[in-house]
Amino acid sequence: MSQVTPILYVKTGCPWCDDVLDYFKRKKLPYTKVTVNGNREAMQEMVDLSGQSKAPTMDWDGEVLADFGVDELIPFLRKHGIS
């Protein structure tokens, strides 16, 4: 089974986004970062995916975690076998 590379939709200057990106870097987890400020298409993609406009939002192989912080991220990752 191949490693899923989640897509992280983030906003520049968002402290929750920065915390989540730092967490992914510390854990050496792969991810694709999509910055939505100033990118109308990316923002619309995030809204279509999650039904809201708050960041960070993550698409994990079709499973969406929206408007979250590290406290919500950790149990989500554990559910997917990542600690």
Report whether pLDDT(3) > 80: no
Q: How many domains does the chain have?
A: 1
Integer Cα distance of 49 and 53 in angstroms: 10
Burial of 64 (0-12, 13-18, 19+ CB in 10 A): middle
- pTM tops 0.75: yes
Q: What is the pLDDT of residues 15-56, one digit of tens each?
A: 999 999 999 999 999 999 999 999 999 999 999 999 999 999
Report whether pLDDT(1) > 50: no
CATH of the domain at 42: 3.40.30.10
In the chain, the amino acid numbered 7 is I
Report whether pLDDT(61) > 60: yes
Evaluate whether residue 83 is within a structural domain.
no
Note the pLDDT of residue 71: 96
Evaluate whether residue 54 is within a structural domain.
yes
Evaluate whether residue 45 is within a structural domain.
yes
Evaluate whether residue 2 is within a structural domain.
no
Evaluate whether residue 37 is within a structural domain.
yes
Integer Cα distance of 9 and 24 in angstroms: 13
Considering Cα of 79, then 50, then 9, then 71, what sign does the dihedral take?
negative
Hey, what are 32's tokens?
A: 């694709």
Evaluate whether residue 19 is within a structural domain.
yes
Note the pLDDT of residue 4: 78
